[in-house]
Structure formats: structure tokens, C-alpha cells
């Protein structure tokens, strides 16, 4: 197609690998130390808190990553917003209590910590790298301000060499401040991502100092091009030499090159060739590492690792997206950054669990809405195989919320984009950059030229990937040139208008950058079963028949119809993979709702019915899932529709052995009739609900049965992992189910469960996925929601056995043992 073939010919990429502190080879020349422990924290502004001699003895001791607000308590007055949400087509302002989660994240917070810089002496340099700090960070070393960074989602670094005392002690202080009405969801608060202290020689590769691309890939060979920046003190005379080797995932050296730098500081350009490359894809996430050793004369000065993948992609008009030459559509989800009960405090085990669940769903892509993700997410996407749209902004110059990013836009947008691209441009998982989501500048004067400028900045920093944006104002953006200038236009909730966009836009393709926004509460079913927009119920829950949407959104099936019909539509990114804190639409005005209903999985990471609808489409493994549950005392004889989400074409349903008829997916008719099997007239009778699936040849291939549950009898525990690393961070997610004597889930059980962890672990948090529950996540007790909840057990740093026991008055309790072993 017109422009990608030259601008984005194959693909490339790598990861700036975080360097393991303690790696002997690095130890001498480069140390990347995570500053996790021994932080002091105080909420509220404090005079003089940056001064080294200030006494923080009374402050709370915390470890980082730390989200100061997730501990609550929930309160509808936290960031109470009286707003008219224009994106939601609201006509007047109303009071919204849970819009940003109802948690106490507003205000100022201070962090302080002693800074020990190992081996610091003349000739060494020290840098602080913040993976993200929420928000308006001001960083002080020994009482002097080193720098500031307003946007809470971005990574940024400061060279602190000149602020350090040669012999110590040194004191690091960080002031953060969150304004009210600055967000449309829960942003979190504090040093919620990692802080690195990086110590190098003065001749060194700076933060994000490599840019690795793979411009030519054939079955025989892949060309790897590496640009490595080197910083060196003025007047460095010894010739600088960069030796780079490429290693495969097992560490075997495949090829090596050495280059001499004419003048320092400067950039080394190197080309290497990997023979018979193994290509990266979501199904084969093969990674390589470039290890670069920087010498001044014969002295090793730095060692820098860049993890990368080899893969090509292209976008072609009318044909769509190709990865490694193979056409595919994105099976994507949008996700916000919070981790439910952990808040925004990043945790690699929690992210890995999310990605593992998304793999089971059959998803292959994530859009990091509406901001830069944690670096851990990007690395895990490389390792586990997900394609990413890395997004930057939710607003530009024209605000969506009173104190949002628009106040920083003019001064910071370019810096924020540069950091975003530099940090993540070596990752094979990153396929597209997004310059914005539903920005009101789509229709504001000057918006088109802003879009052009931002896209140009991204192209300048990374010409290997196209730029997209999520658009909601179809008429304005298609009419004024905004949509036409983007490399890949993205539309939010516009499936019926894809053909019109195809006709009016030059690109010949488009993305469902945000789709569905169907709302549901796990395990909750409302009768009668009727589709509806903005439906609300007295219990603040939404029905899990997956027919309830917002006035701007659709059921999953409506999007599927268009995705299947139109080859030029590149795939979809469902809003959302996981429920998140804040934005409790359709209960924006109905406290105590304070977390979303949009997720395919709930806030605890438990799959809703919709999980199986998407799985039946995205994952070729068999899916045969029935809804609703079958325990309806009082509904005897009443119409209780039964749906089956399956990738088999046909099935027969039985209630207590009596056939309810065979249903087959259709190719015409309502969108639901094409993607679901539905028995709308079933009369409820307690007992057994059974479905028998047939394959295309009419043979019985699978069955699934649900039984009416008796009274709650015991707790059953199911751990996602029973082996953890004893690193003080690793987590097991244990699902607690309230079951009857026969082992059936009691689908409406609300028993209060108590948690005890003994041995080599501790209770970290719990969640039940109820968006209207005000129970704190950190108390060792919580009510089951629709019969279930999830308990998070965290490994200590001592190897051993952790034992979780979950008990409840009147129920037989249960225990699970988790082994923890020392990190290698
Ligand atoms: C979109 C928006 C998302 C979320 C979603 C809910 O318009 O981009 O951030 O608000 O609606 O349906």
C-alpha cells in the first residue's frame, strides 16, 4: 500500500533488558539496583521533607512499588466529580462518586530513602530511572531538586551524579501530587512502579541507549541493525570499541561484531546477521539478546543487553495485517493498568497471571489504554507472545477532565512521546504506537495539525511502526482529515460504519480500536432476558446474558459480524479484558459502584460468561459453556433462557433428561443467533441442565452439565500456582469456591470467608469481583460474590511452605499448600 511498504517494510525490534543486579559480569561495570525496600512514606504535604536532616522516623515504612490509595477506605467523596461526560452523550452534569474508584488518591505524598551508591567514586555515573510515578513527580537528592516529570504513566530518568556526595550518606526524596478531576478512571497514587538506581562508568551506554531493528528477514538470514549511543566525558581519548554478540534464548553466541567509534560521545552503528532466524509471533515468542561490550582501549567500560525478536509485519490496503507474511486479525483487548486488589502497584506475577488468562481466552493483542504500560507488561508480552498497541494519551490540548493532561500538553507531549518510544521500541511485541484515545481535538480547531505533529514525532523516533489513534467522533474525524492522516485509523464502537470509513478514507483498512463495551457482573442473571442500553437494577449489577450495553456500544456479536464480513478491518480490541477500578458505567451515578462492569474477566480475574463467548471464537481448543447457573429456587416453571457459548456448530439441550431441542448457529439472522446457541423458552426446573454438542458431521463430540446446588457445605480452593519463588514478590492467586456437599458451586453464596496464611507466605489481598462491594481488599476476610472470591498469597523471601486456610462459619474449611523456592 501507498506508504507503509516504504515506511514499514519488515519489522524488527528488541527490548532494553533490565540488567540483573548481582550478575557477575555486570557487577564491575554496570549495576541496575531496584530500590524496593526501606522507603519512608507520608501522605500530605510536609515542609522541608526533602532536606537530608529532616526526621522521617514517624513516617510509615513501605516498599516500592507502592500504591498509597489502594488501602482505602472507599468513600464516595474521594474525587467526587460533578460532570457531564460528553463522550457518553450525557446532556447534563451529574454527581459521579465512583468514577475514579472512590479511593483516596488525591493529594500530596512524600517518599524518602537513604541512597547507597555502590562503588561510587570519580569516574562513575549514577542515574535514577523511574518506571512511572503518580504523579507530578519532583525528585530531590541531598535536598536539591534533580528534576520533575508530571505525567504519571511515563518512565523518566535523571542523572544524579553531580548531586551525590562522594562519600555519602545520600538522601533521595520524591514529592508526588495528584489533583482532583484529573482522570476518568482510577490512576493510583505514589511510586507505583519500580525505581532503579543505575551505576555505570562515565564511558557508558545511556538509559534506552540502543535502537535495534531487523530490516531484512528471509528464511535464510535476518539482518540486525543496532545503533548504540555512547556517552563519555569530553576529551575521552582512548579509542572506544563496541563488541556486540547476538545470543539465542539458550545463551548460545550466534554471531559477533566489533566496531570502533571515531569520536565520543557518539553512536555506534552495527550490522549483524542471524542465520536461519526463528521468528517471533504470539504463538512462537522466540527472543534473542544482543550483548554489547564497550571498551576504552582494553578496559571494559560497560555491558548493555538488548533483548529483541525477529519478525516482519505489514499493513495492506483491503487485505489487512500480515505478521511474518501470514494474514491475521488482532484478537485484542484493551486494559487499564490497575491490578484489581493490588491497585496500581506493579507486580510481575499478577501481570503474568493476567496474560496467562488472556492466552487461555485466545487473545493475541493488548492495547495499553490510555497510557504507557509498566515495562514489566511489555517484557512479558515479548515472552508470552502478545502484540501491543502502546498508547500515550487520553487527551491533548482540549480537556476531557478539568485537571487532565491538557494542562501539560504543550510543554510535555513531545518529551512524553520520545520517552515512550525510546523505552519500548526494541520490543517485538510492540506493533503500533497510539498517539491518543478519543481526544476531543478530533473536532477542535487545530486538532488535525496536532495529530500530524504527534505522528511525525513518533515516526522520527521509530520509523518502523505505524501510528494509530482511537477515534469516536466519526463524522468530524472522517470529515476533517484527522482520520485520513493516521497510518492506521482506529475506530471506537463504530462497526456499522466500517464500510463508510473504507469508502471515505485513503488507507484502505481500519482497526476496531475499542469494541463492545458490553457490561455484566459475573454470575448475575436478570429476568426477563431482553437486550438493553444503559440498563440499571436496584442491586447495582448487570446481567451476564451479555445483552446489556451502553448507549454508544454494542454486544460482542454485533462487532463479530462486521469483523467476519470485512477483510479490510484489522481486528478488534475489546473494552476490556479485565474489570478495572473506576468508571462503573452504567452505575456512574450510583455509589457504591466503583469499579467497571466491562471486563471479560472480573476485578478478581475470574472469567465472566463472556470469556467463553470470546474463547469460542479466538481459541481453537473446544469451548462448551452453559449459562445461566441452574439454582433458581422460586423460578420453578418460569421462562429461564439458556445460552451455550461454544465453537461447535450445533447442540441439544436437556433439562432433567428432557430435550429442549437442537440449536444450530446460523449464518444469517440476528448477530446473537450466529455466535451463540440459545434456547429462549426453557422453563426452569431444579435438577440437571445438560448440553450435548455435535460437530459439523453431526456426531456427538462433547457434553456439559450443570446441577442445581444444595446449601453451602464447604470451601474449595483452587490455586493458579502451587510453586512460587521466595522473592518477597511472587503471588499465588487462590480461588475460593463455596460448594454444596456434592461439589456444585453455590452460585449465589455470599458467605463471609476468613483467610489465614502460615509459613513462608503472607496474605496480600482478596477480591470478589463485586463492583459495588466496599469491603477493603487488604482485610483477611471478605464475602463471596456469586459463590466465589480470590485470595492472593505472597511469598516471603525465605524458601519454605506457605499454607492458606480459608474458613467460614458453618462451612467446612479448606487449605492449600504452596511451596516457595529461592530465586536462582
Ligand atoms: C470509550 C473510552 C474508554 C471507556 C469506554 C467505556 O469511549 O475510550 O476509555 O470510557 O468508552 O465504554
Q: What is the CATH number of the domain that holds 248?
A: 2.60.40.10
**Same-domain check for residues 657 and 727:** no
From 438, 559, 583, 748, the catalytic residue: 438
Instruction: Give the atom of ligand 1 at the shortest distance from the alpha carbon of 369.
Output: 9
Quote the ligand 1 centre to 130 CA distance (angstroms): 28
Q: What confidence score (pLDDT) does residue 20 get?
A: 35
Quote the ligand 1 centre to 449 CA distance (angstroms): 24
* CA–CA gap between residue 28 and residue 301 (Å, rounded): 9
Low-confidence residues of the chain, pLDDT below 70? 1-27
Q: How many CB atoms lie within 10 A of CB 564?
A: 14
Sequence-distant (6+) residues with CB within 8 A of 552 are 87, 88, 89, 472, 493, 517
Residue 451 domain flag: yes
Judge if the beta carbon of residue 550 lies within 6 A of ligand 1: yes
Quote the ligand 1 centre to 442 CA distance (angstroms): 15
Quote the ligand 1 centre to 185 CA distance (angstroms): 10
Per DSSP, 639 falls in state B
* CA–CA gap between residue 134 and residue 154 (Å, rounded): 9
Judge if the beta carbon of residue 492 lies within 6 A of ligand 1: yes
Nearest CA to ligand 1 atom 12: 517
Length of the chain: 824
Judge if the beta carbon of residue 391 lies within 6 A of ligand 1: no
Query: Which of 333, 371, 394, 438 to mutate to test ligand 1, by most ligand atoms within 8 A of the CB atom?
Result: 438
Quote the ligand 1 centre to 128 CA distance (angstroms): 34
Quote the ligand 1 centre to 179 CA distance (angstroms): 21
**Same-domain check for residues 156 and 43:** yes
What is the helix, strand, coil percentage profile of the chain, to 5?
A: 15, 40, 45
Bridge partners (DSSP) listed for residue 365: 332, 387
Three-state SS sequence of 443-482: CCCCHHHHHHHHHHHHHHHCCCCCEEEEECCHHHHHHCCH
**Same-domain check for residues 689 and 562:** no
Cell 559477533 appears where? 256
**Same-domain check for residues 347 and 287:** no
Positive or negative torsion for Cα 443, 446, 449, 454: negative
Q: What confidence score (pLDDT) does residue 9 get?
A: 36
* CA–CA gap between residue 158 and residue 135 (Å, rounded): 16
Three-state SS sequence of 311-353: CCEEEECCCEEEECCEECCEEEEEECCCCHHHCCCCCHHHHHH
* CA–CA gap between residue 604 and residue 582 (Å, rounded): 14
Q: What confidence score (pLDDT) does residue 168 get?
A: 82
Query: Which of 85, 187, 583 to mutate to test ligand 1, by most ligand atoms within 8 A of the CB atom?
Result: 583
Q: What is the CATH number of the domain that holds 183?
A: 2.60.120.260
Angle in degrees, 0-180, between the axes of helices 375-384 and 348-361, rounded to the nearest 10: 40
Quote the ligand 1 centre to 814 CA distance (angstroms): 40
* CA–CA gap between residue 698 and residue 359 (Å, rounded): 30
Instruction: Give the atom of ligand 1 at the shortest distance from the alpha carbon of 470.
Output: 8
Nearest CA to ligand 1 atom 4: 575
**Same-domain check for residues 526 and 553:** yes
Nearest C-alpha neighbor of 417 from the set 401, 436, 400:
436
What radius of gyration, in Å, describes the C-alpha atoms of the chain? 27
Instruction: Give the atom of ligand 1 at the shortest distance from the alpha carbon of 550.
Output: 12
Residue 315 domain flag: no
Quote the ligand 1 centre to 571 CA distance (angstroms): 18
Per-residue model confidence as pLDDT tens digits over 16-63: 333 333 333 444 799 999 999 999 999 999 999 999 999 999 999 999
Query: Which of 338, 575, 596 to mutate to test ligand 1, by most ligand atoms within 8 A of the CB atom?
Result: 575
* CA–CA gap between residue 378 and residue 356 (Å, rounded): 14
Three-state SS sequence of 741-805: CCCCECCCCCCEEEEEEEECEEEEEEECCCCCCCCCCCCCEEECECCEEEEEEEECCCCEEEEEE
Bridge partners (DSSP) listed for residue 388: 366, 430
**Same-domain check for residues 63 and 150:** yes
Nearest C-alpha neighbor of 608 from the set 658, 558, 542:
542
DSSP letter for each residue of 564-607: HH-TTEEEEEEE-SB--BS--TT-TTSTT--B-S--SB-TTS-B
* CA–CA gap between residue 747 and residue 610 (Å, rounded): 17
Residue 713's alpha-carbon distances to 26, 74, 185, 736, 739, in angstroms, are 56, 32, 39, 13, 6
Q: How many CB atoms lie within 10 A of CB 61?
A: 10
* CA–CA gap between residue 380 and residue 402 (Å, rounded): 35
Is residue 245 part of the annotated active site? The answer reads no
Judge if the beta carbon of residue 808 lies within 6 A of ligand 1: no
**Which helix (H) or strand (E) segment is 436 a member of?**
strand 430-437
**Same-domain check for residues 699 and 719:** no
Sequence-distant (6+) residues with CB within 8 A of 687 are 630, 655, 656, 707, 708
Judge if the beta carbon of residue 517 lies within 6 A of ligand 1: yes
**Which helix (H) or strand (E) segment is 610 a member of?**
helix 609-618
52 lies in which domain range? 36-69+105-193
Residue 111 domain flag: yes
Residue 319 domain flag: no
Burial of 44 (0-12, 13-18, 19+ CB in 10 A): exposed
* CA–CA gap between residue 502 and residue 418 (Å, rounded): 31
Nearest CA to ligand 1 atom 7: 87
**Same-domain check for residues 542 and 606:** yes
Tell me the backbone φ, ψ of residue 151, rounded to 5 degrees.
-75, 120
Residue 84 domain flag: no
Judge if the beta carbon of residue 514 lies within 6 A of ligand 1: yes
* CA–CA gap between residue 370 and residue 334 (Å, rounded): 9
C-alpha cell at 285: 515468542
Nearest CA to ligand 1 atom 3: 575
**For 240-267, b where at least 16 C-beta lie within 10 A, e where not — what string?**
bbbbbbbbeeeeeebeebebebeebbee
The predicted model scores a pTM of: 0.96
Quote the ligand 1 centre to 327 CA distance (angstroms): 28
Per-residue model confidence as pLDDT tens digits over 466-482: 999 999 999 999 999 99
Query: Which of 81, 87, 477 to mutate to test ligand 1, by most ligand atoms within 8 A of the CB atom?
Result: 87
* CA–CA gap between residue 801 and residue 809 (Å, rounded): 26
* CA–CA gap between residue 318 and residue 658 (Å, rounded): 49
- Chain-centroid distance of CA 811 in Å reads 36
Quote the ligand 1 centre to 87 CA distance (angstroms): 8
Judge if the beta carbon of residue 437 lies within 6 A of ligand 1: yes
* CA–CA gap between residue 625 and residue 647 (Å, rounded): 10
From 303, 514, 559, 583, the catalytic residue: 514
* CA–CA gap between residue 354 and residue 372 (Å, rounded): 17
Residue 387 domain flag: yes
Q: For the chain, how many structural domains are there in total?
A: 5
Direct distance between the N- and C-terminal alpha carbons of the chain, in angstroms, rounded to an integer: 49
Query: Helix, strand, or coil here: 361?
Result: helix
Asked whether 675 and 712 are in contact (CB, 8 A), the reply is: no
Quote the ligand 1 centre to 402 CA distance (angstroms): 17
C-alpha cell at 619: 481459541
Judge if the beta carbon of residue 434 lies within 6 A of ligand 1: no
Instruction: Give the atom of ligand 1 at the shortest distance from the alpha carbon of 438.
Output: 8
Quote the ligand 1 centre to 514 CA distance (angstroms): 8
**Same-domain check for residues 393 and 518:** yes
**Same-domain check for residues 426 and 408:** yes
Judge if the beta carbon of residue 575 lies within 6 A of ligand 1: yes
At which of 656, 681, 707 does a domain end? 707
Per-residue model confidence as pLDDT tens digits over 92-104: 999 999 999 999 9
C-alpha cell at 341: 486488589
CA atoms within 13 A on the CB side of 714: 11
* CA–CA gap between residue 129 and residue 148 (Å, rounded): 12
Q: In what order do the strands lie in the sheet with 137-141?
A: 60-62, 39-43, 107-115, 170-178, 137-141, 144-149
**Same-domain check for residues 436 and 580:** yes
Residue 100 domain flag: no
Q: What is the CATH number of the domain that holds 442?
A: 3.20.20.80
Is residue 303 part of the annotated active site? The answer reads no
**Same-domain check for residues 601 and 644:** no
Asked whether 792 and 745 are in contact (CB, 8 A), the reply is: no
At which of 169, 193, 217 does a domain end? 193
Residue 3 domain flag: no
At which of 257, 274, 309 does a domain end? 309
Judge if the beta carbon of residue 646 lies within 6 A of ligand 1: no
Amino acid at each position: 500500500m501507498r506508504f507503509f511498504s516504504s515506511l514499514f517494510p519488515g519489522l524488527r525490534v528488541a527490548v532494553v533488558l533490565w540488567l540483573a543486579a548481582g550478575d557477575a559480569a555486570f557487577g564491575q561495570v554496570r549495576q541496575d539496583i531496584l530500590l524496593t525496600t526501606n522507603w519512608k512514606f507520608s501522605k500530605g504535604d510536609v515542609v522541608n521533607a526533602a532536606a537530608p536532616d529532616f526526621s522521617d522516623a514517624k513516617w510509615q515504612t513501605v516498599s516500592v512499588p507502592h500504591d498509597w490509595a489502594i488501602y482505602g477506605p472507599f468513600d464516595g467523596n474521594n474525587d467526587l466529580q460533578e460532570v457531564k461526560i460528553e463522550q457518553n452523550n450525557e446532556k447534563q452534569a451529574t454527581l459521579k462518586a465512583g468514577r475514579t474508584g472512590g479511593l483516596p488518591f488525591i493529594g500530596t505524598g512524600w517518599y524518602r530513602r537513604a541512597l547507597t551508591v555502590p562503588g561510587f567514586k570519580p569516574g562513575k555515573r549514577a542515574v535514577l530511572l523511574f518506571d512511572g510515578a503518580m504523579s507530578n513527580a519532583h525528585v530531590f537528592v541531598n535536598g536539591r531538586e534533580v528534576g520533575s516529570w508530571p505525567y504519571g504513566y511515563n518512565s523518566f530518568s535523571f542523572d544524579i551524579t553531580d548531586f551525590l556526595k562522594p562519600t555519602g550518606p545520600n538522601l533521595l526524596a520524591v514529592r508526588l501530587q495528584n489533583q482532583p478531576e484529573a482522570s476518568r478512571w482510577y490512576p493510583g497514587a505514589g511510586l507505583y512502579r519500580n525505581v532503579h538506581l543505575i551505576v555505570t562508568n562515565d564511558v557508558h551506554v545511556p538509559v534506552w541507549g540502543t535502537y535495534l531493528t531487523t530490516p531484512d528477514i528471509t528464511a535464510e538470514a535476518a539482518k540486525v541493525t543496532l545503533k548504540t549511543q555512547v556517552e563519555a566525558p569530553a576529551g575521552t581519548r582512548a579509542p572506544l570499541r563496541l563488541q556486540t554478540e547476538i545470543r539465542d534464548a539458550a545463551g548460545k553466541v550466534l554471531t559477533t561484531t566489533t566496531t570502533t567509534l571515531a569520536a565520543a560521545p557518539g553512536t555506534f552503528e552495527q550490522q549483524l546477521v542471524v542465520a536461519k532466524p526463528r521468528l517471533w509471533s504470539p504463538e512462537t515468542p522466540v527472543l534473542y539478546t544482543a550483548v554489547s561490550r564497550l571498551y576504552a582501549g582494553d578496559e571494559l567500560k560497560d555491558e548493555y543487553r538488548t533483548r529483541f525478536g525477529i519478525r516482519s509485519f505489514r499493513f495492506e490496503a483491503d487485505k489487512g495485517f500480515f505478521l511474518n507474511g501470514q494474514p491475521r486479525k488482532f484478537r485484542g483487548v484493551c486494559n487499564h493498568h490497575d491490578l484489581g486488589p493490588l491497585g496500581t502497584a506493579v507486580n510481575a506475577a499478577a501481570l503474568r497471571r493476567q496474560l496467562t488468562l488472556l492466552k487461555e481466552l485466545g487473545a493475541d493483542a493488548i492495547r495499553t489504554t490510555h497510557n504507557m504500560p509498566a515495562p514489566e507488561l511489555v517484557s512479558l508480552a515479548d515472552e508470552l507472545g502478545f502484540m501491543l498497541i502502546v498508547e500515550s494519551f487520553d487527551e491533548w490540548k482540549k480537556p476531557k477532565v478539568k485537571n487532565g493532561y491538557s494542562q501539560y500538553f504543550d510543554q510535555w507531549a513531545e518529551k512524553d512521546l520520545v520517552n515512550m518510544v525510546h523505552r519500548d521500541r526494541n520490543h517485538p511485541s510492540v506493533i503500533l504506537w497510539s498517539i491518543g484515545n478519543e481526544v476531543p481535538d478530533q473536532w477542535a480547531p487545530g486538532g488535525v495539525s496536532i495529530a500530524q505533529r504527534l505522528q511525525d514525532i513518533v515516526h522520527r523516533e521509530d520509523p518502523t511502526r505505524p501510528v494509530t489513534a482511537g477515534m469516536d467522533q466519526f463524522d468530524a474525524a472522517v470529515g476533517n482529515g484527522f482520520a485520513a492522516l493516521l497510518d492506521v485509523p482506529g475506530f471506537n464502537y463504530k462497526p456499522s460504519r466500517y464500510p463508510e470509513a473504507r469508502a471515505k478514507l485513503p488507507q484502505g483498512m481500519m482497526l476496531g480500536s475499542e469494541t463492545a463495551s458490553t457490561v455484566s457482573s459475573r454470575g448475575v442473571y436478570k429476568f426477563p432476558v431482553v437486550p438493553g442500553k444503559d440498563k440499571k437494577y436496584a442491586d447495582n449489577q448487570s446481567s451476564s446474558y451479555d445483552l446489556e450495553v451502553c448507549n454508544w456500544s454494542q454486544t460482542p456479536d454485533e462487532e463479530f459480524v462486521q469483523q467476519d464480513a470485512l477483510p479490510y478491518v484489522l481486528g478488534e480490541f475489546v473494552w476490556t479484558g479485565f474489570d478495572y477500578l473506576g468508571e462503573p458505567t452504567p452505575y456512574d451515578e450510583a455509589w457504591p459502584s466503583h469499579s467497571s462492569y466491562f471486563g471479560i474477566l472480573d476485578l478478581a480475574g475470574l472469567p465472566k460468561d463472556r470469556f467463553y463467548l470470546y474463547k469460542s471464537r479466538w481459541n481453537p481448543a473446544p469451548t462448551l459453556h452453559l449459562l445461566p447457573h441452574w439454582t433458581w429456587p422460586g423460578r420453578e416453571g418460569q421462562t429461564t433462557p439458556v445460552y451455550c457459548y461454544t465453537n461447535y456448530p450445533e447442540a441439544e439441550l436437556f433439562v432433567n433428561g428432557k430435550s429442549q431441542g437442537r440449536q444450530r448457529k446460523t449464518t444469517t439472522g440476528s448477530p446473537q443467533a450466529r455466535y451463540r446457541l440459545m434456547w429462549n423458552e426453557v422453563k426452569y426446573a431444579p435438577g440437571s441442565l445438560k448440553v450435548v454438542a455435535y460437530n459439523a458431521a453431526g456426531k456427538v463430540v462433547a457434553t456439559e452439565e450443570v446441577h442445581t446446588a444444595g446449601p453451602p457445605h464447604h470451601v474449595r480452593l483452587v490455586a493458579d500456582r502451587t510453586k512460587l519463588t521466595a522473592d518477597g514478590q511472587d503471588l499465588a492467586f487462590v480461588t475460593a469456591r463455596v460448594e454444596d456437599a456434592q461439589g456444585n458451586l453455590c452460585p449465589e453464596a455470599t458467605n463471609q470467608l476468613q483467610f489465614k496464611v502460615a509459613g513462608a507466605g503472607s496474605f496480600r489481598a482478596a477480591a470478589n469481583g463485586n463492583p459495588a462491594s466496599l469491603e477493603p481488599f487488604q482485610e483477611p476476610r471478605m464475602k463471596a460474590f456469586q459463590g466465589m472470591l480470590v485470595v492472593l498469597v505472597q511469598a516471603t523471601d525465605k524458601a519454605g511452605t506457605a499454607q492458606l486456610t480459608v474458613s467460614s462459619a458453618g462451612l467446612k474449611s479448606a487449605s492449600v499448600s504452596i511451596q516457595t523456592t529461592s530465586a536462582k
